[in-house]
Amino acid sequence: MITFSVIVPTLNEEKLIGTCVRGLRQLDPDVEIIVADGKSDDKTAHVAGKLGVIVVSSEAGRGYQCNAGAACASGDILLFLHADTKLPPRAFVQLRAFFQDDKVNVGVFRLALDVKHPLLNFYAMCNRFDSVLTRFGDQGIVIRTSFFHALGGFPNWPLYEDVRLLQKARKRSHIYLFPGTAVTSARRFVENGILVQCCRDMWYMLSYLLGVSPSRLAAKYHHIARKEKSAS
């Protein structure tokens, strides 16, 4: 039987990680769950450890964290999942059916956000089309372990590591869209303003595609986030 390792990169997700782990176990109690923590300041790693999952620590940054999790994974298929994203009810049943076909190497789920708004609905709808502008880690990246390693894993970037992995994968394989819908949190849109965050995301993505370093973009992104947090 095909086996799965779910890798959850975390940074200060103490409030969400328990719900995430329990949700995964309800879907399939046999999947391997690995929490790849970026040296959180809160009790994320402690909570995850008490729930009996594998916990690994690495430098902060999803690229580093996802690679650290993948390094100790034993599953045939890797599923990279954000802590604030909920998989569809029959996720692993659907995935097992898809990955029976050796031609299937990588794919993502359909996307929905947990807040309804015309802009967010449009954003989610666009994610059904395969392009560098419309496929991200929020959808859950599911990839055959052998193919992941053949691609060299994620780049050790603090931002857009998911975009780059899919760019590399797209050159060698079709990226499938699985029928279930992953529901992800709209918290950053709510906190920063939906229109502001949509425009910011587009600006950063265009900057990345024009060759601006992900490290430079991440530094600017986090600087703005800290200023907004201190002003609130």
Global pTM value: 0.94
- Could you give the domains of the chain? 4-185 (3.90.550.10)
Q: pLDDT tens digits for 155-195?
A: 999 899 999 999 999 999 999 999 999 999 999 899 889 99
The residue assigned the tokens 């950053």 is 188
> For residue 230, what pLDDT band results from cuts at 50, 70 and 90?
low
> For residue 138, what pLDDT band results from cuts at 50, 70 and 90?
very high
* Mean of the per-residue pLDDT values of the chain: 93
User: In sequence order, what are the residues at sequence separation of 6 or more whose Cβ sits closer than 8 angstroms to the Cβ of residue 110?
Assistant: 124, 127, 128, 139, 177, 178, 179, 180, 181, 182
